[in-house]
Amino acid sequence: MTETANYLLFFAGVFLLTAATVVGVGAFEYEVTSLGVVEEIPDDTETLVAYDRLPERDRAVVSRAIDGERLVFRDPSALPGEPERRGKLAVTRDGETHLLTRRVFFNPRTSFGTASLAMAAAGLAALSESVRRQHFPHRTAYWARR
């Protein structure tokens, strides 16, 4: 392989890793789950709100989460409470304080997640092969051995 082709392979690997990062942003999803009823509100709780003060849409999400359902959303504005906040949300309903957690996670089962992981693997393979050919040409790749 010529030196120019080797550099192109290296830059293709860098491009694939960068593209994997960009595409991976589309695999972020938002989860709401209940941590149960608490007697005392933990110090790391982001927000405390009364159930009656929540908008109707948020009340439906909170009710489902309190009933034990794990809710996953693609849009961060679908999270109950203040949309720019993540973390724990304490909701008082019927004299009890329920603790909910709102978190962001990478979902590899989405098409964005799968594409991101595939691009990252291809990028790492291209980079490692480029480095091997440039710095260790006397060593053959394990898949090229006879």
- Taking only the tens place, the pLDDT of each residue in 72-121 is 999 888 888 876 677 889 999 888 999 999 999 999 999 999 999 999 99
- Quick one: which of 122, 80, 78 has its CA closest to 100? 80
Q: Indicate the range of 7-16, 42-51, 123-132 predicted with least confidence.
A: 42-51
How much is the pTM?
A: 0.76
Domain ranges within the chain, ordered by starting residue: 1-127
pLDDT at 84: 67
The answer to whether residues 106 and 20 touch, using CB atoms and an 8 Å cutoff, is no
Average pLDDT, stretch 16-45?
Answer: 92
Q: Indicate the range of 50-54, 76-80, 100-104, 123-127 predicted with least confidence.
A: 76-80
- The order of strands in the sheet holding 71-73 is 45-50, 87-93, 96-106, 28-38, 71-73
